[in-house]
Amino acid sequence: MKYPRTVQRYCKSCRQHTKHNVSTYKKGKERMLNQGRRRLERKKKGYGSFPKEIFHKNAKINKKTTPLLECSECGKKHYAKSYRVKRLELQEV
């Protein structure tokens, strides 16, 4: 899917329409001390195999890609509508 690299959008902090620079949202590095990781490590401790069953039947081919909009005036970041596409291509318009 082709998506413009700059869009004119409403910024909540500026309270007006401004130009936004578009990039794709990327997940950050997982912390090793968060609750879910601690729970899984505790469950795996002293056990022969993996405690939870591993899901092998892949239902969806594409993941949802979220465009990340950054206001050029104030630098505040917003999320745009997510799309289930194979590739989100950012273009100069």
Average pLDDT, the chain: 90
> Residue 8 maps to which CATH number?
3.10.450.80
Domain count, the chain: 1
Cα distances from 13 to residues 24, 44, 67, 70, 74, in angstroms, run 21, 45, 19, 12, 8
Global pTM reads 0.73
Q: Is residue 52 part of a domain?
A: no
Residue 32 falls within a domain, yes or no? no
pLDDT digits 0-9 by tens, 46-83: 766 777 777 788 888 888 999 999 999 999 999 999 99
pLDDT of residue 47: 63
State CA 48 to chain mean position distance: 34
Question: 15 lies in a domain?
Answer: yes
User: Which tens digit of pLDDT belongs to each residue from 17-34?
Assistant: 999 999 999 999 999 999
What is the span of the domain harbouring residue 75? Answer: 1-26+62-93
